[in-house]
A = this chain, B = another copy of it.
Amino acid sequence: MTAVLVAPGTLEPGAVLDLAEAEAHHLRVRRAAAGERLQLLDGAGGVGEGTLVGAGSAWRVEVTAARREAPPPPLVLAVGAGDRERFATVVEKAAELGATAVVPLETERSRNVAGRVRPAHVERLRQRGLEALKQCGGAWGPELSAPVPLGAFLPAAKGARWLADGGGGSAPPLAAGEPVTVAVGPEGGFTPAERAALLAAGFLPVRLGPRVLRFETAAVAAAVAVHLRRGTLEAR
């Protein structure tokens, strides 16, 4: 069944919803036809099913079933706002792996990256996360904030705090629903001063692989380690 995104909070049985142009375009490419059954996702906990009504550019979807899922436990990936193509990979994988937020961190070394993430890219990155959500059927997409300086981010960091760091130890145990924030440096890593600020803010250096990881690999590895340490990947 094809998955389609709808606006957050609009999924109510019986509702007839307009489709965003991007969604209608996907359906045209797939040669969808009126009467087709669709999976519906709003990226904010709403999951449902519906039927395509109308035709061509005037397509709408009639909601036949809807439910709300509870949000997953907080997993914030705060990642150096480096190369935006590789950052887009982080957002895509964050959606697959159930991260609840991705924060692009402005750091000393991310400022040197020519293709770095800038405020104008945030909406596009958010869309990339929602597209990934359609692939994996998740109810909640990761929130995406505008790039924020590391110093402004640190006081707001919550829950268990990990710093992806080749010099760290193994990922520590976590309680099942424990909120986690993971900081990952950009290309070239955090500077020594930034690392000191992270440690002072309670971030624990955690080693996520046997070799130096690229930042997008470290973010994925961190999300996997959080799930394993929470013990929440038991058989369903």
Contacts and interface: CB of A to CB of B under 8 A. Distances in A.
Interface stretch (A114-122, A192-200, A219-227): A219-227
Given A171-B228, A217-B97, A217-B220, A72 B210 contact: yes
B209 A235 contact: no
B234 A170 contact: yes
B93 A217 contact: yes
Interface string A105-140: 000000000000000000000000000000111100
B224 A210 contact: no
State how many copies of this chain the complex holds: 2
A233 interface: yes
A17 interface: no
B138 A236 contact: no
Interface in A160-175: 167-171
A228 B227 contact: no
Interface in A28-61: none
A96 interface: yes
A117 to B, nearest CB: 20
B169 A214 contact: no
Nearest to A218: B96
A96 B231 CA distance: 25
